[in-house]
Structure 1
Amino acid sequence: MSSGTRKDNILPLESFALTAVPASTHNVVWSPDAELAVGCDDCVYIFIPDFTIPKSQNGRDPGIVRQYNDVALRFPSVEHRSPELNRPLFDYVGQEFPEFEFVPGGGGSGPVTSQGSSMNHLISLEWSPCGLGRMNRSVLAVLTGAGTITVYCEGASDRKNAFKPRGRNARTLLPWVAAWGVGAGLLLPVVEGHEVEYVKEYVTAFAWARDTDGYGALLAYANDEDDIVIVSVQAKHDPNADAGDCGQWRVEEVARFTGMGPHPKAHQNDPDSFPSGSSFSLSWGPWLKKGASKSSMISYVARGYVGFRQVTIDSPQHKMASPKVRVDQVDTDGVCLYLAQDAFVVWEDLIWTIGQSKVCRGIIATPMLAKAFQVSFDDSQSGKIVRHTAYECGSAYPDIEDDTPPHNPITGLVIHPPSLSQTTRTPSYSLVRLSATHENDAWYQTNLPLPPNPEDETAGPRWATEINQIVEHQLPRAMAYRAVVDGGSVGSEDVSDEDEEMETESFEGSNYDPDEGFAGIDTEDQVHINRVRIWGMASSPGGGVTAVFISQHNTVFYGRDTFAGIKCRVLFGRHDSSAEKSEEALTTLAMKKLSTEAKTWEWMYGGGPPVPGVGSSTIQSSESRSALKDHFELVVRQQVCSFCKSPLRSDGKMCWCGKGHPFATCATTGLPILAPGLSRTCNVCGSKCLNRENLIVMAPQLKDIIMDEISDEFCGNCGGKFVN
């Protein structure tokens, strides 16, 4: 598929380069609205999707189409925040702000971390569910080496000075603001009846729970004392707030339990002791509704053990009020197995009914091996979990019978959307490992069905093909080591570029002739000159596209992991080489609870179904939208031109007066927009909708309808979120 062309309504995916130095794995994450965040050693890159649909002019190719704006937001994440950052949280719930002597950085009981000796590099990051940020968007939580989680959100901006890439209104790229944090002296309020002693915690891992139906979100974090804390997070934002405002937040600790597991801690001098901590040890499963309540499983990784604890939220729930959260006293289930550092768990986003039991499934990355599991909500196995040593259950050492390469850890694993018509024994998944070389064929693995032509080298995601081309690139040995013989210090980019022009330049001064080839050089003796590190993999909200973050290194010359010496790229791909989705796959994507932004992304790049109100599939008026516009029909007739005061006539998207003065119409009500600053622009379809307060001024008799049926955050045409 040529660049910039569409095939079956799918646009090509364009990779991009980054000037970055990755310091940890699992550092690429996708938000529920298709925003992409990439973590580096001391900063975060945020890429905002561009939903502009390319249009060819005079039958010409529209050129390269990039799924993200050319300009990205980059902000540092290493600052040590003062406890004063959380003072508004205590003021909101009416609790006294705890006063204690604060020393910047550090926390917990570790010999290094308690002294604040960390460089505070970025460890992990994760997007929240929708609803916590401005315009019902997500916020980004970042964990750093000082043991602190900082939550960043998009601050209010001046709509008059909004950044306009490609000649249209778009979201601003102003620096995001730190709303609140936890860990290393950043304390949180606690709900009534839940007692806790305020100490400087050192946070080791965290995870957001999945969407809780518009009533905020739950955040779980673990500290170095093996405590697992559940925090309720809610927020509300004023659409007309001053620039930089981060909104009002209600953040409270609602539960805490010990996640130590059945194995006793080994002494550091024990010869059988091994490091087993994980910065990605927490993960939430899907929610199961049980009458008036809903439950979810939270998994935690301990020494040689993965535990599953059930968390329940009781109804009724109210916005900006403390939820009723209950945590079981013991684990519902658990698995004993050998776990090395940075083991993690990934859940399938579906609850199966097996007999009379509700079951959820997932994959445990040890991280050398991928182990499938399933947990029942109804059949508790807590009675079988008793205290024992790692020798008794065989989890002290790895299983020597496993034939998977034991020294290449899994750095990214995604579970693909399940098929409702065909049940498999294990979830469908794809994984990547840290190191990709020409001698290692297991850096990409999947249990998806084989393509129709197994010999097709391009089968699978596009990024896998690109990585394979990089690691398989070869040069004659004499050419590859020429700089070493000459005493030069050529960087990796001088010999590892795939472009033919760059490759020819590297042969200058040698016996290479473009017509006759190499004179006097053994071209049979070839060496591979590249290797790749794969730092993370993430799946788009609908599962149609995956992204990987890689760095390219040279196998011949030494290199420096600095901004000048390392090449980083973000690659994209689909897991169906033909870029065609079956009707069942389209139905699966449509059934998911996706935002309009996510649905549009899947339609444009992942092979998802068309989105009503976007592009050629625009629906001018649904029944509900027509009924709403009928209420404003009389108000529309009363509007006159702002310049000549003559009556207006409408053709649907525009209004005109007799003298030809044009006015855009509100996509929600059909009213003309008679002055600037009265409306908001949709980030997806570009439609304009009048602000709710302006509608009340224009039609005070319809105030109840306006407040009940018209949103101040969502577009009335497609349901997308406003720019600001």
Structure 2
Amino acid sequence: MLGPLELPLFPSCYDCLAWSADGELAIAAGEYIQILTPKNTVGQSEYDSTQSPINNWHSTRFRVNVFTNHEWPTIDPQNRDNFSLGAEQSISTVVALAWSPPGLAKYRRCVLAVLTSNLQLSLYEPVGFQGKWTRVAIVNHTLGNHFKSFIQDEGMNLRKSNIRSFAWSPPLKLTATETAPYAVLPAESRWGWHLLSVANDYNDVIFLSVQRSSTELSTPYQASVLSVTHLPDPEGNYSQLQPSSIFAKILKSKVKILSMSWGPWLHASVENENSASGYLAVTHGTTLRVIQLDIDMTSRSHGTSPEPHPKLKATSKENTAAVCHKDLSGYHFSGPLAWLHTDDSPTVCLAAGILAGLLLIKFPKEHQKGARSSGRARLQELPFYEISDTEKDVDTQRHLGPITAILVTMDTASQNPVLYGATAGGYIGAVPFGDGKSEHSILPVPWQDQLDDIRERYDFDRDLGGLAVARAWGLTSYNGIVAAGITVHPGDMIEYRTAAEERLTIIISPDESKSDGVPSQTVDNSSDPQHRRDAVLGYILHFEENDENRQPLSSKILYATACCTIVESTNTALLYQAHKVLVRLATVTGADVADELLKCSISKNTIAPKSAEALDGPGGQMFERCDICGAGIDWYSSQEAQCATGHVFVRCGVTSLAIQDPGASKLCSSCGREYLNPDGIEPSESDLQNTCRTLFDAFDTCVYCKGKYQV
């Protein structure tokens, strides 16, 4: 089990931890975001157990409360309904953070969304190779532009642009079937659309589609509003107050949406798989509400379309049938939300935080699709107690700490979901599912002993006589590994703490199926590397045949792919296609490729470097030339190249070209394979650069292990 990580910081919000699908752990620390990445990259297969646990992580910290006047313009005071004085005067500390699903950022990585106390939601991603992070978009600008088109009042527009909460949806993937040979599914089928829901000060729930810009010259990211649903104040909000009191009236007028969570995407029918419905649960004051978003995904042609981001058609409405239960109005919802489901399960479960416990709401999946069947949903309350379930009786004291985080993760051994809940009083419990039981119970977490040891050590060091208390600030998971952020405090006095004494301890409980418990990036070895390489070669060789309307590929890459097929592949169909490509290149350019055509009938052959006359003759631009000495480059391997005078280079895993400029390459972060970077190609070679961008849009992860690229 990986040792606890002690960091010199203090969390600024509940649910302060977020772990991306790429293995980056983000921590909300006041004005900063701390990013931890395990040191298990290329060349480091395991951790150094002799060092402190924190030394086995890369650490990066960046500020999030620095805004330019363009990003956050000065706002003149408005009336009390539209102007948030606290937000205007705050120092813009982090109040929420979450990673997008993979595929949105550059190299198909994740984008970090950060909500600060000035009610601005920003998107961040790393730039360069030195671990620097930068703000790439502010979602409030999209809301302001949207509402400004039909709302003229500046104060109301400001209120509708302030963001109180947000949540990323699960990836919405387009169903596509490829029939063309060696075709590649479009990005919307491999990664899906990235949807973001936000709640503003007016209690509007806005659904947005976020996408990365296709050109580097414009803004890095673009967001468009899909649908807006306003939630009026329900009758059940703060029902425990006297309805006619002034306090109740004022309190209800200030109700906000402070928690939201996405459920699974459900397709309408087998015949119409490109229409889906998503369900967003929100905590509106003290009530639970569900909003249904219906999506119509535009059908696309086979293969990679020149249109990078087809538009979605979306409508949203409140779904009162989803949470229709006669006893639901009696609960006071005050915590975060989480959905539990599996693809083969007929039911969906929504876990919601209530006072001193959790509430599980179970209903069939078809109940979500609009069938109004009141009473079919089943409720189960899981109360928190100060002691374990085996020792409690009717007089056991309830644990009243507010819920700080709810986490749902999959147990890798049983492939069943597990629900975790944490409170500000240090209570952390686990609720396993999938055992066939209709009723569930809260069990101790596997790392409870670690938490107790940290609290007892703090108590002993300060001679508190057993009165030390712990607080849990967040839960997150990655590949079956769960991380919990806790702090410890004296329990019998007012605590005085300086910045130098701030400490956050992250307890990491690894997946039991892993022997070393080391978080690592997932490497896909499900298919043979030769088969994956043939898929790349076949895609390039059949590119123009699959779609004649597409812009043709660079002749230099087509020639390199044909040579790579001759040298590497034993697939007779690919060798035949390479012969056709070479004939077409010779016809168009007039180049002499007689030697290559002769060797297309012989698998795994070598091709001698071109002479100076051939390099300077007709079609010579498609042959490779050494940038150092000007000699031709021979073909004997798909991974290595050598010119006639002995200079050795690495070949790109996609384009098969020799990478002669180290600054024009990128690496796989998992296996270390080297690839050509389209951004490093000279602008004068626009044909080659455009072809590289087209190919890396199709093969946007490592050909050999499906790892993510890095510069």
Q: Distance in 1 between matches of 2:52 and 2:77?
A: 44
- 1:546: how far off? 0.8
Q: Where does the alignment leave 5 or more consecutive residues of structure 2 unmatched? A: 174-187, 300-306, 386-392, 436-443, 542-557, 565-606, 608-622
Cα 1:404–1:324, aligned 2, differ >3 Å: closer, same or farther?
Answer: farther
Q: Which amino acid aligns with 1:137?
A: R
Equivalences for residues 597-608 of structure 1 within 5 A? 605=518
Q: 1:35 aligns with which of 14, 20, 24?
A: 24
Cα 1:721–1:69, aligned 2, differ >3 Å: closer, same or farther?
Answer: farther
Q: 2:315 aligns with which of 318, 326, 330?
A: 326
Aligned to 1:255: 228
Aligned to 1:537: 475
Q: 1:363 aligns with which of 332, 337, 351?
A: 351
Aligned to 1:432: 422
Aligned to 2:109: 137
Aligned to 2:64: 77
Q: 1:288 aligns with which of 253, 266, 282?
A: 266
- Whether the 8 Å contact between 2:34 and 2:61 is mirrored in structure 1 is yes
Equivalences for residues 504-583 of structure 1 within 5 A? 527-528=465-466, 530-540=468-478, 542=479, 544-555=480-491, 559-574=495-510, 576=512, 579=514
Q: Which amino acid aligns with 2:450?
A: E
Matched, 1:217 2:198: no
Structure 1 vs Structure 2 CA RMSD: 4.8
Matched, 1:187 2:100: no
Q: Percent same amino acid among aligned pairs?
A: 19
* CA distances 1:682-717 after superposition (whole Å, capped 9, x unpaired): 223221112458699999799879836764743333
Q: Distance in 2 between matches of 1:634 and 1:352?
A: 44
Cα 1:106–1:306, aligned 2, differ >3 Å: closer, same or farther?
Answer: farther
Q: Distance in 2 between matches of 1:112 and 1:706?
A: 45
Q: Distance in 1 between matches of 2:410 and 2:152?
A: 41
Aligned to 1:624: 535
Cα 1:52–1:234, aligned 2, differ >3 Å: closer, same or farther?
Answer: closer
Q: Distance in 1 between matches of 2:683 and 2:456?
A: 65
Q: Which amino acid aligns with 2:654?
A: T
TM-score in terms of structure 1 length: 0.66
- Whether the 8 Å contact between 1:230 and 1:255 is mirrored in structure 2 is yes
Q: Which amino acid aligns with 2:337?
A: V
Q: Distance in 1 between matches of 2:198 and 2:694?
A: 37
Cα 1:353–1:247, aligned 2, differ >3 Å: closer, same or farther?
Answer: same
Q: Distance in 2 between matches of 1:66 and 1:237?
A: 40
Q: 2:410 aligns with which of 413, 417, 425?
A: 417
Cα 1:113–1:647, aligned 2, differ >3 Å: closer, same or farther?
Answer: closer
- 1:383: how far off? 8.2
Q: Which amino acid aligns with 1:307?
A: R
Q: Distance in 1 between matches of 2:287 and 2:641?
A: 66
Q: Distance in 1 between matches of 2:348 and 2:337?
A: 13
Q: Distance in 1 between matches of 2:410 and 2:202?
A: 36
Matched, 1:175 2:133: yes
Q: Distance in 1 between matches of 2:647 and 2:79?
A: 64
Q: Distance in 2 between matches of 1:634 and 1:25?
A: 56
- 1:350: how far off? 3.0
Q: What SS does the aligned partner of 1:249 have? A: strand
- Whether the 8 Å contact between 1:85 and 1:181 is mirrored in structure 2 is no
Equivalences for residues 335-374 of structure 1 within 5 A? 336-337=328-329, 342-352=334-344, 354=346, 359-366=347-354, 368-374=356-362
Q: 1:678 aligns with which of 650, 660, 664?
A: 664
Matched, 1:715 2:697: no
Q: Distance in 1 between matches of 2:26 and 2:356?
A: 25
Q: Which amino acid aligns with 1:574?
A: P
Q: Distance in 2 between matches of 1:143 and 1:305?
A: 23
* CA distances 1:549-583 after superposition (whole Å, capped 9, x unpaired): 1223345776434321222122211253x646xxx
Q: What SS does the aligned partner of 1:313 have? A: strand
Q: Distance in 2 between matches of 1:70 and 1:606?
A: 10
Cα 1:111–1:131, aligned 2, differ >3 Å: closer, same or farther?
Answer: same
Q: What SS does the aligned partner of 1:472 have? A: helix
Q: What SS does the aligned partner of 1:325 have? A: strand
Matched, 1:146 2:118: yes
Q: Distance in 1 between matches of 2:143 and 2:66?
A: 13
Aligned to 1:439: none
- Whether the 8 Å contact between 2:467 and 2:490 is mirrored in structure 1 is yes
Aligned to 1:464: 448
Higher helix share: 2
- 1:69: how far off? 7.3
Q: What SS does the aligned partner of 2:474 have? A: strand
- 1:220: how far off? 1.7
* CA distances 1:149-207 after superposition (whole Å, capped 9, x unpaired): 2233345x3xxxx33xxxxxxxxx22312412328x97132699999973433432221
- Whether the 8 Å contact between 1:692 and 1:711 is mirrored in structure 2 is no
Matched, 1:314 2:296: yes
- 1:368: how far off? 2.5
Q: Where does the alignment leave 5 or more consecutive residues of structure 1 unmatched? A: 1-11, 87-100, 164-172, 386-392, 437-441, 451-458, 481-494, 497-505, 507-525, 581-602
Cα 1:104–1:561, aligned 2, differ >3 Å: closer, same or farther?
Answer: farther
Cα 1:679–1:566, aligned 2, differ >3 Å: closer, same or farther?
Answer: closer
Cα 1:407–1:80, aligned 2, differ >3 Å: closer, same or farther?
Answer: farther
Q: Distance in 2 between matches of 1:668 and 1:527?
A: 64
Aligned residues: 574
Q: What SS does the aligned partner of 1:212 have? A: coil
Aligned to 1:587: none
Aligned to 1:203: 163
- Whether the 8 Å contact between 2:277 and 2:292 is mirrored in structure 1 is yes
- Whether the 8 Å contact between 1:30 and 1:127 is mirrored in structure 2 is yes
Q: Distance in 2 between matches of 1:20 and 1:250?
A: 33
Q: Distance in 1 between matches of 2:696 and 2:87?
A: 54
